[in-house]
Amino acid sequence: MILFKDQFIKTFDRAWLKKNYQDHRETSPCVKHEGNFDGVKVSVVETPGWFSDPTPPDWIKDEVLHSVSMCSPGPHVFLLLVPILRSFTEKDLKALLEIMKPLTERVWRHCMVLFTRGDWINDVPVENYIVREGKELQELLEKCGNRYHVLKNFNSDYSVQVKELFQKIIDMVKQNRGCFTIKPKQKKLPILPWQTKQIEKEWKRREQELIERVMKALGKEPEEPTEPHVRTAESKDDLVIPNSKFYIIMN
């Protein structure tokens, strides 16, 4: 899956996609490419361009979320395109973090930064560029597990660069033991008033049963049942029925 900044989409030379992939354009702004690269069947989904806006529109976040379903059972990698020809700002970082938020923190284990226009730094090591850019880019790389790759658009060995990219993706997939999937939300069933009364009744019955067992073990007659203290739940999810075990702590 590819996420890129809108006005810099042309900085990513997708010739290797155009030659080997077929577009699937539906009503969704997401675009899916399918094809074969170096003998491997690959699907690539391009998401809508993201803007340097700390509060991107909801439809972009919805499309990014929708794009996951276009890669059943799930994408193996999220490629975050960062063009080297411009600075990666704090606004860029905040916008990207906001867009990725619906996918939860788990998504970052499947992310990789893809630097485009690597020709702009000539023979300067990309590590020097990362240090020079500052904390915003470094924070993004840290969230991605410091995984990145550089594409030089005018390099004659373009296919070699892409093969190296695929190898990094394969290594990441092995480390993650699979692709990224969205866990379905489990709906909590509401607890009705009559269920609460039934639980309280069960509390009383079991507590009295435990008292009788202890008194019998001590050779004493059980006392007249008294109204036991029943712990009331602080929330609907805090309702617990005690088991038949009795735990004694001796100091």
Query: Which of residues 126, 151, 176 is at a domain's end?
Result: 176
C-alpha span between 6 and 48 (Å, rounded): 7
The end-to-end CA distance of the chain, in Å, is 60
Whether pLDDT at 241 is above 90:
no
Average pLDDT over residues 26-30: 59
Domain end call among 150, 176, 202: 176
Same domain, 26 and 83: yes
Asked if 112 and 201 sit in the same domain, the reply is no
In a domain, 135, yes or no: yes
Which residue has tokens 């699979």? Answer: 178
Tell me: do 170 and 213 sit in the same domain.
Answer: no
Mean pLDDT of the chain: 74
pLDDT: which is higher, 151 or 251: 151
Domain boundary among 141, 176, 211: 176
Domain count, the chain: 2
Is residue 38 domain-shared with residue 145, that is, in the same domain? Answer: yes
In the three-class reduction of DSSP (H, G, I as helix; E, B as strand; rest coil), residue 161 is classed as helix
Structure confidence at residue 208 (pLDDT): 76
pLDDT band for position 161 (cuts 50, 70, 90) = confident
In a domain? residue 167: yes
Q: What pLDDT score does 19 carry?
A: 46
Domain that holds residue 218: 193-238
pLDDT in tens, 59-97: 888 888 888 888 888 899 999 999 888 889 999 999 899
Statement: residue 106 has pLDDT above 60: yes
CA dist list (Å): 164 to 156, 161, 168, 170, 186: 14, 5, 6, 10, 40
Q: What's residue 58's pLDDT?
A: 84
Same domain assignment for residues 62 and 148? yes
Rounded to 10 degrees, what is the CA torsion of 31, 152, 82, 73? 40
CA distance 51 to 54: 8
Q: Domain check: are 46 and 126 in the same one?
A: yes
pLDDT level of residue 28 (50, 70, 90 thresholds): low
**Is 105 within the bounds of a domain?**
yes
Inside any domain, residue 233: yes
Specify whether 105 is located in the same domain as 228: no
162 and 202 in a single domain? The answer is no
Whether 103 and 207 map to the same domain: the answer is no
**Amino acid identity of 237?**
D
d(CA 168, CA 152): 17
Same domain, yes or no: 53 and 90 = yes
Q: 208 and 153 in one domain?
A: no
In a domain, 251, yes or no: no
In this structure, what CATH number is given to the domain that contains residue 33?
3.40.50.300
**Using one digit for the tens of pLDDT, what is the confidence trace for 126-158?**
999 999 998 999 999 999 999 999 988 776 677
Residues 120, 217 share a domain: no
In a domain, 11, yes or no: yes
For 171-190, the pLDDT digits (tens) are 999 999 888 988 766 555 56
